[in-house]
Chain A
Amino acid sequence: MTTVPMTAPAQPNAPSLGSIVRRIIPIFGTGVLIFFALIQILPFFFTIANSFKCLPAINASPSAFIAVPPFNVACVNAEGRTLPADATVSGATFNPTLDGYREVIETGSLPRWLFNTVFIAVTITILRVMFDSAAGYALARLKFPGNRAVFFLILGTLMIPGIVLLIPRFIILRQLGMLNQYTGVIIPAMVDAFGIFLMKQFFESIPDEIEEAAKVDGANRFVMFFRVVLPMATPALTALAIFSFQGAWNSFLDALVVLQGNQELWTLPLGLAFLRGQSGETLRWHQFLAGSVIATLPIAFIFFGFQRYFVEGVNYSGLAGT
């Protein structure tokens, strides 16, 4: 407020104009942010609301968002007739139902997909945290012939676009008998170059002295890694674990190519995508929206619980690029 624009001493109006602008900018800027924040969040809000509606109500009035009693209505009445839209929705209010959730669980074998997704994502996360941190540690701390060469080899793999690997990876998994198996999606994903860099960067930031002290005590590299270095790396390991879990939970293309032929092993994204494919023109939105909520809830909980680490992980990736 005390800074007077240097360029405008001749115009008596300029300072007040400047202070007006200075006061308007925050209001305008906050307005822009609120606008974009609503665009980002409202679709999820309405998805949740509509996942609790009967199908005719979704189609007739997607904007109704206030749930009012009677709760847990049945969308199909005793005579087997589907309730018309205006029976469960009026204005901005609607009577919630669990039919969408029930149907997608009963007809879509969703519990199976949920189990597969959890199993695959958890396994990949554990393996990746182990192998990425071990490799990152070796690259950051250990001196041995070929260290630099391996580093550049791993760096090089970051430049290979995933789509190029689609066909040959399918061929290799087929030759190894890993198609339509859990192992086909887990084993190729249990190491990733980005995670190795993240861990390497972190280990390089730990002062040498800590390991020196352990070395004096006679600890070898394995003891040092597991007892001394790894416990210090909890923040980086958490960031890596969350990113791995999120990636594995949402992964689609790999699951599509590897697991397509074995419905028993379909993951949530794969199952939902095929459910959409089979439904043709008449999409049963109450099922899709309920399925979408179920598929998003776990990752949303993790996000809100560990948000700091998400941001940290993204920042690491940003730093890797600079």
Chain B
Amino acid sequence: MAQTATGQRTATTGTQTLSGKKFQEALAGYTFLAPAVIILVIFLIIPMFAALYFSFTDWNGITPLNRQDAFGFVGLENYQRLLLETGRRQEVFFTALKNTVFFVIGVVPVQTFLALALAVIVNQTWLRGKGLFRTAFYFPSITSSVVISLIFMWLFTRNGLVNVAISAIFPNYDPVTWLEDPNGLIHNFLGVFGITGNTVGDWAKTEIASVSLWDWISGPSVTMFMIMILNTWTTIGTLMVIFLAALQNIPGQIYEAATVDGATPWTIFRKITVPLLRPTTFFVVTLGLIGTFQVFDQIFVISSGGPANTTLTIAYLVYRSGFTDSRMGLAAATAIVLFVIIFAFTLIQRRFTGERANA
């Protein structure tokens, strides 16, 4: 019907048609966009501000919000307790921050490097069965985080496959309970030289943000380290496929020219491949940062933050404060702090990997 109407107008006046067509196009545009915009506003943009709003309250998450006394405004108190006030909340928050930072610093460089290395090898002209390798590497990425965590737990139980394999190689091996070990890797390493919390000296007892210096330098616990391996294992496939796509976009002539000029493979990699991959590297590292800073599913399934809070991450702390401890206000504040941290890290790494690519 609308078509015939415009058709008729076309026949009569030119200017009217133009504005009528423009109007029609705008109407179509808004209609096409409306569902997407409505959903994104209600479930992404409003929540973002709601998180900020509730971080200034003491709502417990249970009292219905339409009741007058559902919550009170506490100003910056939640932030103060998390960040500034010496005490239990500060201790838990900074323990979670420490664990998360160990996790991020351990996982992001390793998974980025491994993914790049594998992609470079898969991209070599001499390689047979490229598709097969790509399939194999990518496969763990398609499964659910819960399932993959269960499988991983099973592999590393006391009488699991990994311990069986190690025992087969080293008959005297005393099976390790990989996923229930709260000892920090750096502590373990120092322990080899006889340095422990008791012998290291009084300086280590000094507390910064309610966490002792000795605990600050613990390194990830054995359990956390295993979850780091799990995360790397499931992520490198996706990252490798991204790197591989970028590598395949680099024209072959560049390599040929460099080879003719006598450049060694290593020089080609350093002087051509790495610079051309910089935007992709920026993307992969950003994905890695955002993903690892929010690690949750694996923690929930494998360790629930334990043993001894050594796998408590900020994301898990948000969940625990909000839904287990019924402190929604505090949980919202924790989430906002995490948001700021992720944002800051993304900006910092942009300075290292992104900017020169844009120039």
Q: B137 → chain A, closest Cβ, in Å?
A: 6
B159 touches A59 (CB 8 A): yes
Within 8 A of A (CB), among B111-142: 114, 117-118, 121-122, 124, 126-128, 132-140, 142
Q: Given A134-B36, A295-B144, are A169 and B154 also a contact pair (CB < 8 Å)?
A: no
B142 touches A300 (CB 8 A): yes
Answer yes or no: A118 CB below 8 A from chain B CBs: no
Q: List the A side residues contacting B30 at CB < 8 Å.
A: 138, 144
CB-CB nearest in chain A for B282? A321
Q: List the A side residues contacting B260 at CB < 8 Å.
A: 3
Chain B: interface size category = 35 or more
Answer yes or no: A36 CB below 8 A from chain B CBs: yes
Q: Binary interface profile of A, 148-173, with partner B (CB < 8 Å = 1, else 0)?
A: 00100110010111111111111110
Answer yes or no: B301 CB below 8 A from chain A CBs: yes
A157→B44 CA distance, assembly (Å) = 7
CB-CB nearest in chain A for B46? A172
A285→B152 CA distance, assembly (Å) = 12
A302→B323 CA distance, assembly (Å) = 35
Q: List the A side residues contacting B192 at CB < 8 Å.
A: none
Q: List the A side residues contacting B259 at CB < 8 Å.
A: 3
A316→B285 CA distance, assembly (Å) = 17
A168→B61 CA distance, assembly (Å) = 10
Q: Given A30-B127, A164-B51, are A132 and B36 also a contact pair (CB < 8 Å)?
A: yes
Answer yes or no: A32 CB below 8 A from chain B CBs: yes
Answer yes or no: B43 CB below 8 A from chain A CBs: yes
Answer yes or no: B246 CB below 8 A from chain A CBs: yes
Answer yes or no: A262 CB below 8 A from chain B CBs: no
Answer yes or no: B328 CB below 8 A from chain A CBs: yes
Q: How many contacts between A and B, using CB within 8 angstroms?
A: 301
A167 touches B332 (CB 8 A): yes
Q: Which of A70-78, A89-97, A185-193 contacts B (4 or more CB under 8 A)?
A: A185-193
CB-CB nearest in chain A for B59? A171
B280 touches A322 (CB 8 A): yes
CB-CB nearest in chain A for B277? A322
Q: Binary interface profile of B, 55-82, with partner A (CB < 8 Å = 1, else 0)?
A: 0000001000100000000000000000
B318 touches A150 (CB 8 A): no
How many of A's residues come within 8 Å of B, CB to CB? 105
Partner of A168, one of B22, B47, B314: B47
Partner of B242, one of A46, A310, A315: A315
Q: A192 → chain B, closest Cβ, in Å?
A: 9
A154 touches B283 (CB 8 A): no
B121 touches A292 (CB 8 A): no
Within 8 A of A (CB), among B300-314: 300-301, 304, 314
Partner of B137, one of A37, A170, A276: A37
Q: List the A side residues contacting B117 at CB < 8 Å.
A: 32
Q: Which of B83-91, B205-213, B216-224, B334-342 contacts A (4 or more CB under 8 A)?
A: B334-342
Partner of A246, one of B118, B127, B142, B323: B142
A303 touches B238 (CB 8 A): no
Partner of A163, one of B136, B144, B283, B294: B294
Q: List the A side residues contacting B152 at CB < 8 Å.
A: 43
Q: B28 → chain A, closest Cβ, in Å?
A: 4
Q: List the B side residues contacting A277 at CB < 8 Å.
A: 304
Partner of B25, one of A142, A150, A299, A300: A142
A311 touches B51 (CB 8 A): no
Answer yes or no: B204 CB below 8 A from chain A CBs: no
Answer yes or no: B14 CB below 8 A from chain A CBs: no
Answer yes or no: B296 CB below 8 A from chain A CBs: yes
Q: List the B side residues contacting A123 at CB < 8 Å.
A: none
Answer yes or no: B29 CB below 8 A from chain A CBs: yes
CB-CB nearest in chain A for B142? A303
CB-CB nearest in chain A for B302? A276
Q: Binary interface profile of A, 265-288, with partner B (CB < 8 Å = 1, else 0)?
A: 000111011001100000101001
Q: List the A side residues contacting B159 at CB < 8 Å.
A: 59-60, 62
B154 touches A289 (CB 8 A): yes
A3→B238 CA distance, assembly (Å) = 36
CB-CB nearest in chain B for A6? B262
A50→B264 CA distance, assembly (Å) = 48
Can you sample 12 A-B contacts with CB below 8 Å?
A3-B262, A142-B32, A165-B44, A168-B46, A252-B145, A252-B300, A253-B297, A283-B153, A285-B157, A289-B150, A295-B143, A317-B242
A-B pairs, top 7 by smallest CB distance, nearest first, are A321-B283, A168-B47, A250-B144, A168-B50, A144-B26, A6-B262, A135-B36
